Each structure stands twice: as C-alpha cells, then as structure tokens.
C-alpha cells in the first residue's frame, strides 16, 4: 500500500485510546482514509467524534501520558510514521507536515515577536543563518498577504486581529514548504467575512505551493466550499467517505443525511421545523461494538452487535453498511 504514489498520506486502521479513570477508552476505532497529492480532504463530525484525535495521531501530538496509539499504520510519503523515532517525527512535524490550530492566540507565544516565532520554525528545520531565516519569514508573511510584513515582524501577537493572527499561524505552518498541512478548525474562531478571507487564502496557497490539506471542521458549509474528498466520522469511526460532490448529492449513511438535513440554509422556509437527529452521542465508555448510530437512535438491541462492514458500494464511495442506517443500498 505504501507504494501508491497518488496519495501523500494513508491512514490504515488507526486505533487511538486514552487512559482514564474508567479504563482505556478508544477515541479512534480503526479509522482508515487517504489523502491524495495536492488535494483537500475534509474530516467532519460533531464534538467528540475523534476527528481531532485522528489528526493529532498523524503527527503523534497526543496528550501525554494518557494518549496512546494502539494499532494501525500511517504511511506518509511511503514510510510509517507510527514506527518512526521521536527524532524523526520531530523533523516531520512542522517540516514536512504543517499544522494550523483552531485558536490562533493559543498557538502563538504572547511574549515573542512575530518575526522570531516564524523564523524559529525555519531555523529548526533548515540549516540557515538567522538573517536568512528572518528574510524567509518576512517573505512568508508577504505570501499570506499580510500588509507591511517588515513592520509586522516586529509586532507581538496581541497587536494583531484574529484574522491576522490566523494568517501568522498559517505562515508558520507553511514556512518549511510542507507536503501536507493539517488544519484543525482553522476558521471556527473567526467571523464569517474573515473566514471567507482565510479559506480563500488557503485555496490560493494550495494551488501555488501544491500541498495537500486535511481540513477538520464541524461545518458542512466549509467542507462544501473547500474539500475534494470528505470523511464523515461518528463516535470514533468513519461512517462514510467519498468525494465532496458525491457526498452532498448522494449521501448514503443515515448520520450523514441527518447532518445535512439539520442545518438551516438560506433556502429553508423561516420558522419551519428543522430535521433533527434525536438523542446525542453516547460517551466513550458506553460505545457499543455494533453500529453506533443505531445506538444513538435507540435500536442497538434489535440488530446484531457486530460491527458493520466498511465497504466501497460504488466507485470511491465508502460507507458503513449497517442494514438500518444504509437501508437504501443493496447488500
């Protein structure tokens, strides 16, 4: 599988667990997906579905000592990151794989100037002089369309607005020209007009630099606007995976359908009753081995307790084939 040259990243049956008072709880339960070169893959799901844990497992940035990767493979450019040494992974993290976090203020150090924070990353991964790194960092600020970059290099994070700070975080993520960028809710903390600026910027940088992006979000609108492929996660598992166009045109899993129908759009008639998904996600400790969406819908006892198979039901359209949740496809 690692010989496949079309994909920059392949995640195969990833299992990530957390040590808790109630024992070892599985936050990510055999998740598989791949990221093609120069494409954007969205991971969408509600809070606690394991989307961020999946992404942080890729760069092995889990809370320590509780977070543990217990199984699976993560092939990045042909090598298995899960078997890489700590020194190797440190080179990948911030170098070949850049990360954009949700909260730009938390991702930046408040007591260091912007210039130092951006050039530091470059010096960590490349053997260049301080002066050259500073110039390269200024160039990065220019690349993310920050006006007067030389001046901004001397600013502290609190001098900047939320949108400008997120541009700095993007500049840091891209500073070493990564092959893959993991963006964890990059626009959730931003206003809608600033979100549009940042998404536009990320799209333009992708076509200029040719990196792949994993975009983690709970916002299906952001997915529709930016992603080539989509991974829908529910309760630690992937329930559906296909191209963005196919997902919105022809969703197969009951959870995906429920999500799509529950968002009000500008076209929904005012004050009409919105479709809802009853109940809520069970806690990690209560997860069934069988179909977890059936568990939410209160029908976990009726059907088999076997885990539904994850199958390719039409070309490049994968879905968890639970007889209740995907009743419209042939088995």
In the complex, least distance from residue 267 CB atom to another protein, rounded to whole angstroms: 9
Q: Which of residues 31-90 bind another protein (CB under 8 A)?
A: 46-47
Rounded to the nearest whole angstrom, what is the least distance from the CB of residue 268 to another protein in the complex? 6
CA-to-CA separations, 113 to 108, 123, 129, 130, 157, in angstroms, rounded: 10, 16, 18, 15, 7
Least CB distance from residue 115 to another protein, whole Å? 21
DSSP codes of every residue in 248-275:
HHS--SHHHHHHHHHS--TTSPTTPPPP
Classify burial at 70, counting beta carbons within 10 Å of its beta carbon; exposed 0-12, middle 13-18, buried 19 or more.
exposed
Show the site string, 205-244: x = touches another protein by CB under 8 A, - = not.
Answer: -------------xxxxx-xx-x----------------x
60/165 with CB nearer another protein = 165
The nearer residue to another protein, 68 or 257, going by C-beta atoms, is 257
| Shorter beta-carbon distance to another protein: residue 135 or 225 | 225
Q: What DSSP string describes 264-320?
A: --TTSPTTPPPP---S-PPPGGG--SS-HHHHHTT-TTTS-SSPPPEEEEETTEEEE
Q: Is 21 in the site for another protein (CB under 8 A)?
A: no
Q: Which is nearer to another protein, 1 or 106 (CB)?
A: 106
For residue 65, cis peptide bond before it (omega within 30 degrees of 0):
yes
Contact characters 139-168, another protein, x per CB under 8 A = ----------------------xxxx----
Q: What is the x/- site pattern for another protein, positions 275-304, by CB under 8 A?
A: xxx--x------------------------
Quick one: the chain helix, strand, coil %, rounded to 5? 35, 25, 40
Candidate list 194, 297, 313, 329; residue touching another protein; CB under 8 A: 194
What is residue 87's three-state secondary structure?
Answer: helix
Candidate segments 166-174, 271-279, 311-319, 322-330, binder of another protein by CB under 8 A: 271-279
Q: Would you say 46 or 324 has its CB closer to another protein?
A: 46
Structure token digits, residue 170: 């993007």
Does position 257 bind another protein by CB under 8 A? Answer: no
User: Which of residues 157 and 178 has its CB atom nearest to another protein in the complex?
Assistant: 157
Cα–Cα separations (whole angstroms), residue 183 to 2, 70, 174, 199, 207? 24, 24, 11, 11, 16
Number of residues lying near another protein (CB under 8 A):
45
Other Cβ atoms less than 10 A from the Cβ of 116: the count is 17
| Interhelix angle 162-174/130-143, nearest 10 degrees | 130
- CB-based contacts of 169: which residues, under 8 Å, 6+ apart? 100, 101, 104, 107, 108, 186
Give dist(CA 55, CA 10) in Å, integer: 12
Shortest spacing between CB 96 and another protein, in angstroms: 29
For another protein, give the closer residue by CB, 22 or 271. Answer: 271
264 binds another protein (CB under 8 A): yes
Identify the three-state secondary structure at position 80.
strand
Closest to another protein by CB, 87 vs 280, is 280
Q: Please select the residue that binds another protein; options are 70, 148, 154, 274, rule is CB under 8 A.
A: 274
Residue pair 201/144 in contact by the 8 Å Cβ criterion: yes
Q: Give the nearer residue to another protein in terms of CB position, either 105 or 128.
A: 105
Positions that interact with another protein (CB under 8 A): 46-47, 161-164, 191-197, 199-200, 218-222, 224-225, 227, 244-245, 248-249, 258-260, 262-266, 268, 270-277, 280
């Amino acid at each position: 599988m690692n010989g496949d040259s079309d994909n920059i990243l392949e995640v195969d049956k990833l299992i990530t667990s957390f040590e808790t008072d109630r024992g070892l709880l599985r936050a990510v339960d055999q998740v598989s997906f791949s990221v093609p070169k120069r494409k954007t893959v969205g991971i969408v799901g509600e809070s606690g579905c394991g989307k961020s844990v999946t992404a942080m497992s890729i760069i092995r940035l889990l809370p320590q000592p509780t977070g543990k990767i217990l199984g699976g493979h993560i092939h990045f450019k042909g090598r298995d990151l899960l078997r890489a040494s700590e020194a190797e992974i440190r080179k990948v993290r911030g170098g070949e794989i850049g990360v954009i976090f949700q909260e730009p203020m938390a991702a930046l150090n408040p007591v260091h100037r912007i210039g130092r924070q951006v050039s530091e990353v470059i010096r960590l991964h490349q053997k260049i002089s301080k002066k050259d790194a500073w110039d390269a960092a200024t160039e990065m600020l220019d690349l993310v369309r920050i006006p007067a970059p030389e001046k901004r290099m001397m600013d502290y994070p609190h001098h900047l607005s939320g949108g400008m700070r997120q541009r700095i975080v993007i500049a840091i993520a891209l500073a070493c020209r990564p092959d893959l960028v993991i963006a964890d809710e990059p626009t959730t903390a931003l206003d809608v007009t600033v979100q549009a600026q940042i998404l536009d910027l990320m799209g333009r940088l992708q076509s200029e630099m040719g990196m792949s992006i994993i975009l983690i979000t709970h916002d299906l609108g952001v997915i529709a606007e930016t992603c080539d492929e989509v991974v829908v996660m529910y309760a630690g598992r992937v329930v559906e995976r296909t191209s963005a166009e196919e997902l919105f045109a022809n969703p197969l899993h009951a959870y995906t359908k429920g999500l799509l129908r529950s968002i009000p759009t500008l076209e929904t008639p005012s004050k009409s009753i919105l479709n809802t998904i009853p109940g809520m996600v069970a806690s990690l400790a209560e997860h069934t081995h069988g179909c977890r969406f059936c568990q939410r819908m209160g029908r976990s006892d009726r059907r088999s307790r076997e885990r539904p198979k994850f199958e390719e039901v039409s070309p490049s359209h994968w879905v968890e084939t639970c007889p209740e949740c995907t009743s419209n496809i042939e088995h």
